[in-house]
Amino acid sequence: MINIYITTLNRKDITEFTLNNINQYKKDSKLFLYDDNSTDYDLSFLKQFTPNVITYKEKTGIAKIRKHQIKHFIDSSADFCYLTDNDTIHDEFFIDKLLEIYEQFNGVSSIFNTDFHKTESEYNQNLLVKKVITGNSIFFNRKYALNVYNSIKSYELPCDNWDWQISHAFDNFVISKTSYCEHLGWKGIHSSYDNPCRAINPTEFLINEYKRFQELYPEYK
């Protein structure tokens, strides 16, 4: 069993597209949404996608929310935890790929390959070794959950370095050479319209999904 955790904050169009995508391909995984006091939509909007919705009455910040999510996973009976974002779409076979990678590398992994983070070496013909992992795709089992939880120590808003905190807690991570998820948000904490954080080697499915998103919402081109 995989618990999937997504933090939501406004951007209704992107959020709706992303949640429809992940709901369609998550298989028997459980989806949990943690909303950081959005004003673009309410609880009823989020409950269209899952009954498992936690809302905050005031801005809490991604770092503290991630800790709440990981603590929920630790207290659950699920075998794996997957952290992703409300601006990230996934390939139709992303669940299979997460589990395939786990069979090859029993550690913390990701299915989002980006040139924002340097490749240290090749783990095998399908996986790369990196020292930094992206916050929109982090997968781990119960063995590593407490280490991930304890690695997040700073909660100062906007909490933009929580994934760097995780990165510093481990020697390395493996990332799939082929990306099985793609970042929709053209502007983020560490990226901009001129320098967007995009996937390297996305699947054909993701390429087509991204094109469909741009056709629906041309303002994000």
Q: Give 108-124 pLDDT, tens digit per residue.
A: 999 999 887 778 889 99
Specify the residue for token string 């929920």: 72
**Total H helices, total E strands in the chain:** 7, 11
Q: Which residues of the chain have pLDDT under 70?
A: 153-164, 167-168, 185-196, 221
What is residue 38's predicted lDDT score, i.e. its pLDDT?
Answer: 96
Give CA–CA dist 52/55, Å, rounded: 10
Contacts of 180 (CB under 8 A, 6+ apart): 90, 91, 93, 94, 97, 98, 111, 112, 203, 206
Give CA–CA dist 217/199, Å, rounded: 19
CATH of the domain at 161: 3.90.550.10
What is residue 164's predicted lDDT score, i.e. its pLDDT?
Answer: 64
Give CA–CA dist 10/4, Å, rounded: 19
What is residue 191's predicted lDDT score, i.e. its pLDDT?
Answer: 44
Are the beta carbons of 76 and 3 closer than 8 angstroms?
A: yes
Look at the chain and report how many structural domains it folds into. Answer: 1
What is residue 196's predicted lDDT score, i.e. its pLDDT?
Answer: 65
Give CA–CA dist 126/124, Å, rounded: 5
Domain membership of residue 173 as a residue range: 2-220
> In 3D, which of 182, 28, 167 has the Cα closest to residue 109?
167
Give CA–CA dist 174/154, Å, rounded: 25
Are the beta carbons of 213 and 17 closer than 8 angstroms?
A: yes
